[in-house]
């Protein structure tokens, strides 16, 4: 009998100047021996350090690495939107988002994927039992406060609303992106979680250990954090409209 067809899994990794980290994260994913038709998609914003060329060389070597090249740096949100579009076009059944710098430990991925059998969105969470953040104290506090602010403002029960380590099934992802999430930067993840919650999708959190990046500098800036506050305010204002739309869809009212 022929082997059962494996589910197609896309692991989306946005990059900008991550050439030093890329070999490490690709190797770590390869070691997992995932029982999927898996592909790492590098979404590169024209990195001057040659990250894109490194990703392309992996593809030429026959590795399960795809390169989605973008002309310029436009932020995390737009990079993920491009990746989501491509993943859905390619009929990926599961779509993972994770960072290139190994702050999201690939060894946690099997536990995240295991929960996709019962949930639409699985979040790698720093703030559930078993989760941990290995950061300098001041950065740890900033992370906790940012997460708490977003949770309170949006009224969500998700413990780690700012997590960037996620897995969506394609049906859930298509429902979310149909509402055109517009936040950019790291608040994009907050908006994705917000929309998933408001649409009534089944969400589960899996504990992860979050570490500081191996190489390079953090892409987070004070300006991005400042503008992120306004994005969260915008999401809050749109809350009632989205709930109303979702309620009408479920009841068949127009």
Of 74, 25, 57, the residue nearest 215 (C-alpha) = 25
Q: How confident is the model at residue 137, as a pLDDT?
A: 81
pLDDT digits (tens, 9 = 90+) for 206-233: 999 998 756 555 555 555 555 577 789 8
Q: How confident is the model at residue 186, as a pLDDT?
A: 82
**Angstrom distances, CA of residue 186 to CA of 165, 192, 224, 230:** 12, 11, 8, 13
**Contact in structure between 101 and 21 (CB atoms under 8 Å):** yes
Of 105, 98, 13, 10, the residue nearest 51 (C-alpha) = 13
Domains of the chain (ranges; CATH) run: 8-249 (3.90.550.10)
Place of tokens 């009998």: 1
- Mean pLDDT throughout 115-121? 98
**Contact in structure between 166 and 192 (CB atoms under 8 Å):** yes
Cβ-count burial 136-173 (b if 16+ within 10 Å, e if not): eeeeeeebeebbebbbebbebebbbbbbbbbbbbbebb
Which range has the worst mean pLDDT, 71-75, 221-225, 232-236? 221-225
- φ and ψ at 149, to 5 degrees? -60, -50
pLDDT digits (tens, 9 = 90+) for 178-198: 999 988 888 999 999 999 999
pTM of the model: 0.89
Mean pLDDT of the chain: 89
Q: How confident is the model at residue 163, as a pLDDT?
A: 96
């Amino acid at each position: 009998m022929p082997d059962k067809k494996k589910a197609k899994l896309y692991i989306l990794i946005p990059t900008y100047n991550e050439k030093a980290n890329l070999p490490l994260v690709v190797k770590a994913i390869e070691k997992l021996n995932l029982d999927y038709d898996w592909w790492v998609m590098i979404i590169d914003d024209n990195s001057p350090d040659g990250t894109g060329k490194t990703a392309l060389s992996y593809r030429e070597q026959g590795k399960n690495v795809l390169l989605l090249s973008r002309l310029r740096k436009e932020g995390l949100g737009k990079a993920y939107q491009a990746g989501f579009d491509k993943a859905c076009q390619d009929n990926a059944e599961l779509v993972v988002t994770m960072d290139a710098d190994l702050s999201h430990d690939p060894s946690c991925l099997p536990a995240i994927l295991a929960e996709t059998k019962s949930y639409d969105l699985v979040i790698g969470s720093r703030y559930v039992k078993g989760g941990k953040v290995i950061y300098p104290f001041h950065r740890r506090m900033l992370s906790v406060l940012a997460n708490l602010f977003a949770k309170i403002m949006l009224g969500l029960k998700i413990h780690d609303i700012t997590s960037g380590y996620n897995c969506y099934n394609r049906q859930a992802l298509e429902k979310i992106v149909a509402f055109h999430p517009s936040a950019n930067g790291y608040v994009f993840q907050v908006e994705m979680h917000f929309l998933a919650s408001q649409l009534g999708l089944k969400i589960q959190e899996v504990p992860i250990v979050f570490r500081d990046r191996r190489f390079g500098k953090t892409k987070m800036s004070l300006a991005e954090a400042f503008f992120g506050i306004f994005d969260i305010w915008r999401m809050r204002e749109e809350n009632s409209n989205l709930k109303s739309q979702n309620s009408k869809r479920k009841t068949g009212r127009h």
